[in-house]
Amino acid sequence: MLRSHTKSKMFTGIIEAMGEVMVELEEGGNKTFTIDCPFIEELKVDQSVAHNGVCLTVTGFRPEGYIVTAVAETLAKSNLGDLKAGDFVNLERCMQMNGRLDGHIVQGHVDLRGRCISIQDQNGSWKFSFDYDKNSGHLTVSKGSITINGVSLTVVDSSTGTFSVAIIPFTFEHSNFKYLKIGDHVNLEFDIIGKYVQAYLNQSK
């Protein structure tokens, strides 16, 4: 499981805003991103923000935006390695303890990358289908929860290594789903409850 840093935070999968990558710099095996977003004036150093579902720590500020660094493991196991200046990422700050859990429990620990294999316009909504490594040990269930690029969603159809979700107009317009194309990679975080159940069953075999 991908963990971008050691601090334990919780997210809900409800995207606050999209941020634009202003600068992308390679530093050894890592990448540093400068990102502009609507709530930048509310951010501070050492704050946790989920970027396409990956929890990263704000390390500083430049005139163009705030700074975060993704280490080599994060780049290898998420789509952050594909980001370049001009791209948009889904952003969510960690949940406040007195806030409502409008999505589901999201850790900001991406499990693996998935690939968009189909986009269907359904006259008012969109059905996106994805595949992922069927040998990874992860699974989805119909009507269960899945996090895609940090967005909390409900699984519509599920089979081994593939699943689909329905995207309503609000989600489409306020997340980077509207930029997704067939073949693009997305970050997947599977439902935490399902992962614990699966791990328990595997240990019981």
DSSP letters of 58-110?
Answer: --EEETTEEEEEE-HHHHHHSGGGG--TT-EEEEEEPPPTTS---S--B-S--
Task: For domain 112-204, give the CATH number.
Answer: 2.40.30.20
What is the per-residue pLDDT for 6?
42
β-pairing, 145-148 vs 126-131, is: unpaired
Fold match between 17-93 and 112-204?
A: yes
What is the per-residue pLDDT for 38?
96
What is the per-residue pLDDT for 3?
41
| Spatial contact of 178 and 172, defined as CB atoms under 8 Å apart | yes
C-alpha separations of 110 from 18, 41, 87, 126, 135 in Å: 18, 27, 19, 24, 17
CA distance 191 to 147: 8
Residues of the chain with pLDDT under 70: 1-8, 96-104, 200-201, 204-205
What is the per-residue pLDDT for 104?
60
Domain boundaries, the chain: 17-93, 112-204
Structural fold of domain 17-93: Elongation Factor Tu (Ef-tu); domain 3 (2.40.30)
